Amino acid sequence: MKRREFLAAGTAASATMLAAPAIAQSNPTINWRLASAFPSSLSTLYGTAKYIRERVAEATDNEFQIQTFAAGEIVPGGGAVIDAVESGTVECCHTCSYYAIGKDPVFAFGTCMPFGLNSRQADAWLRFGGGQEQLNAFYEGYNLHALAAGNTGVQMGGWFRKELKTVEDLRGIKFRVGGLAGTILSKLGVVPQQLAGGDVYPSLERGVIDAAEWTGPFDDEKLGLYKVAKNYYYPGWWDQGTVISLMINKEKWDALPKKYQAVLSAVSGDANNWMQAQYDHENPAALRRLVAEGAQLRAFPEEIMQACYNATTETYEEISSGNETFAKLLESMMSYRDAASLWWQVSELPYDIAIARAGAARR
Amino acid sequence: MKRREFLAAGTAASATMLAAPAIAQSNPTINWRLASAFPSSLSTLYGTAKYIRERVAEATDNEFQIQTFAAGEIVPGGGAVIDAVESGTVECCHTCSYYAIGKDPVFAFGTCMPFGLNSRQADAWLRFGGGQEQLNAFYEGYNLHALAAGNTGVQMGGWFRKELKTVEDLRGIKFRVGGLAGTILSKLGVVPQQLAGGDVYPSLERGVIDAAEWTGPFDDEKLGLYKVAKNYYYPGWWDQGTVISLMINKEKWDALPKKYQAVLSAVSGDANNWMQAQYDHENPAALRRLVAEGAQLRAFPEEIMQACYNATTETYEEISSGNETFAKLLESMMSYRDAASLWWQVSELPYDIAIARAGAARR
């Protein structure tokens, strides 16, 4: 009912009969629960869920309330939050969709693909390149609807006890790395390890593993890995524009009044920008602190980058041959990346190089 | 009045007495006018004003309506829209703050500074580096309050009839370029020209001017400049993370119910991401079309970039010596840029280079 209709109706009916249901329809009170895939110690990642909660409450005079829960509070973290949304245990979660690649590797496209799009290209593909639309068509089979709500930008390639010089140096390395990157790197002899955040430091210290990746300087600093593995490699070619999504139970989304759908969409788009900005604010200072503590910044040698790129292509071909949706999304995303490449080479890239050079000249 | 109080009150009063004012307080109908600095032909720039209008209407069940007007419809474009907001003729405008540098060069910091922050760094500085806060403290003197609501990313350096090889080649060049870039380039012998969009093509064709810059491939293509000046230079070091702001009359902003302030803030943050994504979607394809039409992509020679950087530093020192707020904001922004540089060199930069190399290998 539109406000004008209500006012007209109001003059013709008693207050007790009319006011309650009419207002309930126009401004229903909604209470949702959001399970974050991340622990509350990660202020950028879990912080974004809180940001969403606060902005939605403000924009609706507290009539749309979203309670947020950190990993482990009501649902374990990681992929479990996606299951909880699918089954309707909670209305929504804030997570990387790629935690669900065990269900189907297509879930990886909602986060990022090795050698795929950078953060800004991901936004462009999702909003204008048909990305979010294709993903939501796929998610519908899991009773899910997603909105992009955060990005980390390019992450680091991880902490290595020993320096890497040739592709041979990867052979036998026990590397804490997950998802598709693990599958790809195993083609080069790496032995991928799955470890929870809290187990990484002691395992690396005791030499149970040889290397570990987490996210970027600001989050990595909290784990203290620079104390036990000094070689800090870049770039993290498997997490280079990592989208964090608000994944919503599809029935709950469909039942949400249009007004609140609009609020949640706007707040997610704002949060998408906010999280990236927070990482871009925190990472530079954290990196300089890590270097001061003795972290050795090292680029993956060109030979290793090339071998990883080739292993990625091979892995994509293998998955695509048995998964039509994967093949379709891969083509959509990678042709988008290739089409953007020339523009990037005459815009962001030369400008960032000019600034790096100017900085070097000032030092 | 909270909804619960209203319901309680509703049971004790007649509908005609109560319903209208109580609802008016909880969901007041607001009508604002937004003057865009841009013509409706610029679908990214003017399109973002329309995007803001639509999202705000949806998120408030049409109770907060913002009428949008393209440049010239009710106010001329460019800096005139800022005057119209300052005086309260319209409630808000969507513009580059740097159109008002005639009032005070400090207005430039709200858009972008030559050799300043790129798009993502600008978001980080505005949201977390104290940028927006410092700007709004300054804008208050003009009865203005601003929200970031769009970015173009790195623009191009413009269309030149002749190739540039040395700094000497800049001498005497009549270049359609505005603002601080014009002041800076005049130190190198360039003769800056102010021309409206529609006059650029005929002036360049007849040789009245030697070069012209506009924005980037998608917008430039519409002017058709590639037909009369083939040399398309990059990067546009004076427009490399150009923020477009929603500038609001401060009294109107303060009088806006908190709920609508929150809606407008969220929608602006979303629009900030949306415009950048649209440029990142449109520019790559437009660039390839321009190259197919004969545009010659050329990097400004290193010698010219260095001379421009030095002229920029000199210009900043001159303005700073007589303008304390300018000096303070310059220090805030440029120290932010310098602090981010190392992180950029191990994250976005090497990743984008890796993708450019991989693309070259595939060709």
For the stretch B247-282, pLDDT in tens is 999 999 999 999 999 999 999 999 999 999 999 999
| Residue A176 distance to chain B (closest CA, Å) | 20
Q: In this model, does residue A27 exceed pLDDT 80?
A: no
pLDDT band per the 50, 70, 90 thresholds, residue B363: low
| pLDDT score of B17 more than 70 | no
What ipTM describes this predicted complex?
0.92
- Here the CATH number for the domain that contains residue A55 is 3.40.190.170
Residue B281 to residue B218: CA distance in whole angstroms: 10
**Between chains, do B55 and A266 touch, taking CB under 8 Å as contact?**
yes
Q: In a mutagenesis test of the A interface, which of B351, B357, B362, B363 is the best target, namely the one with the most A β-carbons within 10 Å?
A: B351
Contact A23 B6 (CB under 8 A): yes
The answer to whether the CB of B319 falls within 8 A of the CB of B329 is no
Handedness of CA A177, A180, A185, A186 (dihedral sign): positive
Q: Tell whether B97 is covered by a domain.
A: yes
B171 lies in some domain:
no
Q: What is the largest CA-CA distance in chain B?
A: 84
Give the separation between CA B167 and CA B150, rounded to whole angstroms: 34
Asked, for residue B259, whether it belongs to a domain, the answer is: yes
CB-CB under 8 Å, B124 with A280:
yes
Distances (CA, A) of B244 to A279, B108, B143: 22, 11, 18
pLDDT band, very low/low/confident/very high, at B337 (cuts 50, 70, 90): very high
pLDDT at A17: 37
- How many Å apart are CA B352 and CA A342, to the nearest integer? 11
The beta-carbon neighbor of B277 closest among A59, A127, A268 is A127
Across the interface, whether the CB atoms of A348 and B55 are under 8 A apart is answered no
- Say yes or no to pLDDT of A249 above 80: yes
pLDDT confidence of residue B198: 80
Listed range (A315-324, B121-130, B189-198, B226-235) with the worst mean pLDDT: B189-198
pLDDT tens for residues A57-110?
999 999 999 999 999 999 998 889 999 999 999 999 999 999 999 999 999 999
pLDDT at residue B28, as a whole number: 81
CA distance A243 to chain B (A): 14
Query: Among residues of chain A, what percentage have pLDDT more than 90?
Result: 87
Number of domains in chain B: 1
Residue B20 has a pLDDT of 40
Instruction: Average the pLDDT over B78-106 and give the result.
Output: 96
Report residue A163's pLDDT band, with 50, 70 and 90 as the boundaries. very high
The b-or-e profile of B313-351 (16+ CB within 10 A means b, else e) is: bebbeebbeeeebbbebbeebbebbebbbbbbbbbbbbb
Confidence bin at B131 (pLDDT 50/70/90): very high
- In this predicted structure, the answer to whether residue A229 has a pLDDT above a threshold of 90 is yes
CB A66 within 8 A of CB A43: no
> Is B60 within a domain?
yes
Domain housing A55: 28-152+241-281
- Asked whether A223 and A209 are in contact (CB, 8 A), the reply is no
pLDDT of A4 > 50? The answer is no
- Give A-chain residues touching B115 at CB under 8 angstroms: 354-355, 358
| Residue B297, strand partner residues | B232
Q: Is the pLDDT of residue A118 over 60?
A: yes
State whether B153 and A348 contact (CB < 8 Å).
yes
Q: Strand A144-151 and strand A243-249: pairing?
A: antiparallel
Residue in A234, A305, A346 nearest the CB of B346: A234
Asked if residue B288 has pLDDT above 80, the reply is yes
Nearest to A307 by CA among A151, A114, A139: A114
Which chain A residues are within 8 Å of B337, Cβ to Cβ? 355
Residue type, B140: E
Task: Kindly provide the residue ranges of all beta strands, DSSP E only, lying in chain A, ordered along the sequence.
Answer: 30-36, 64-69, 92-95, 144-151, 158-160, 174-176, 191-193, 211-212, 231-234, 243-249, 296-299
Q: What is the DSSP string of A140-180?
A: GGGTEEEEEEEE--SB--EEESS---SGGGGTT-EEE--HH
pLDDT at residue B362 in the model: 67
Single-letter amino acid, residue A146: A
pLDDT at B238: 98
A18 assigned to some structural domain: no
The residue in chain B having the minimum alpha-carbon distance to the alpha carbon of residue A341 is: B356
CA-nearest residue of chain B to A312? B358
Contact yes or no for B352 and A355 at CB 8 A: no
Q: What is the mean pLDDT of residues A208-234?
A: 96
Distance in angstroms (rounded) separating the CA atoms of residues A160 and A230 = 7
B115 vs A217, A287, A358: nearest CB? A358
Confidence of residue A363 (pLDDT cuts 50, 70, 90): low
Environment class of residue A85 by beta-carbon count within 10 Å: exposed (0-12), middle (13-18) or buried (19+)?
Answer: buried
Determine whether the interchain pair B354/A283 forms a contact, defined as Cβ–Cβ distance below 8 Å.
no
> What pLDDT is stored for residue B26 in this prediction?
59
Are residues A138 and A106 in contact, defined by beta-carbon separation less than 8 angstroms? yes
pLDDT value at position B10? Answer: 34
CA dist., res. A244 & res. A65, Å (int): 21
A102 domain-assigned = yes
Q: Write the residue in A59, A339, A358 that is nearest to B263 by C-beta.
A: A59
CA dihedral B254, B258, B264, B268 (to 10 degrees): 90
CB contact set of B91 (below 8 Å; sequence gap of 6+): B32, B33, B34, B85, B248, B249, B252
Whether A160 contacts A210, CB under 8 Å: yes
Q: Tell me the nearest-neighbour CA distance from A314 into chain B, angstroms.
A: 14
Residue in chain B nearest A156 by alpha carbon: B347
Judge whether A245 lies within some domain. Answer: yes
Q: Mean pLDDT of all residues in chain A?
A: 92
- Within a domain: residue B37? yes
Write the residue in B266, B287, B349 that is nearest to A342 by C-beta: B287
A-B Cβ pairs (cutoff 8 Å, strict): 301
Please provide the average confidence, as pLDDT, over all residues in chain B: 92
Nearest CA-CA distance, residue B336 and chain A, Å: 9
Residue A78: per-residue pLDDT: 83
Q: Range with the lowest mean pLDDT among A44-48, A146-150, B13-17?
A: B13-17
Q: How far apart are CA A288 and CA B68, in angstroms?
A: 45
Q: Which residues neighbour B314 within 8 Å (Cβ) at sequence distance 6 or greater?
A: B187
Is residue B21 pLDDT above 60, yes or no?
no
Residue B9 has pLDDT above 70, yes or no: no
Residue B15 has pLDDT above 70, yes or no: no
Nearest CB to A262; choose among B55, B346, B353: B55
Give dist(CA A176, CA A182) in Å, integer: 8
